[in-house]
Amino acid sequence: MTKYLRIELIIERMAHKRACRVLEAAGMTGYTVFPAMAGYGGSKRWSRDTDISASGDMVSIVSIGDEAKVRDTMDEIANLLGAHIGIVTLTEVEVMRPGRF
């Protein structure tokens, strides 16, 4: 049975289009981007409403796909995260209408 994975990539807003291009290039059928409003990491806090430059902003990119495709994508994502800050998690999920992924 095909296994489906949910990629959650928390990455800088400024760099998120790069991540999106990686996902598209790897053939993921879709993704959705969510704006974060605050966060903490490396002992620094950031908050969207209090940073006029918005350079600390993060977003979360969620993309669901079958295991094979997701695994393929991960190499390029690793290359991207070599340059940018961000974290990636993979979660096993059950999908409805598997045909569409």
Partner 1 sequence: MGAVLDVAISTLLSPIILFFALGMFAALLRSQMSVPEAFAKGLAIYLMMAIGLKGGVEMSKNPLTMDVMLVLLAGVVLSFLIPLIAFVLLRLTTKLDQTNAAATAAHYGSISIVTFVAATEAVRLSGLDAGGHLVAVAALMETPAIITALFLASRGAGKRDEPVAGSEQGELIREVFLNASIVVLVGALAIGWIAGEEGTASIQPFFVGLFQGVLCLFLLDMGLSAGRGLRQGWRQLTAAIVGFGLYMPLLSAVIAAGAAYLLGMPPGDAALLITLTASASYIAVPAAMRLALPEAKPSIYLTLSLGVTFPFNVTIGIPIYIYLALLINGQG
Ligand X SMILES: Nc1ncnc2c1ncn2[C@@H]1O[C@H](COP(=O)(O)O)[C@@H](O)[C@H]1O
Binding footprint of a copy of itself on the chain (CB under 8 A): 4, 6, 8, 10, 16, 20, 23-24, 29-42, 45, 58-60, 62, 64, 74, 77-78, 81, 87-97, 100
CB nearer to partner 1: pick between 1 and 83 = 83
- Where in 71-90 is the site for ligand X (CB under 6 A)? 85, 87
- What does the angle CA 26 – CA 9 – CA 56 come to, to the nearest 5 degrees? 125
Query: Quick one: which of 70, 66, 68 has its CA closest to 89?
Result: 70
Phi, psi (5° rounding) for residue 51? -125, 105
Q: Which does 49 bind (CB under 5 to 8 A by kind): partner 1, a copy of itself, ligand X, none?
A: partner 1
34 CB-side CA count, 13 A:
10
CB nearer to ligand X: pick between 55 and 75 = 55
C-beta neighbour count of 43 within 10 angstroms: 5
The site for partner 1 (CB under 8 A) is made up of: 12, 14-15, 17-22, 25, 44-45, 47-56, 76-77, 79-80, 82-85
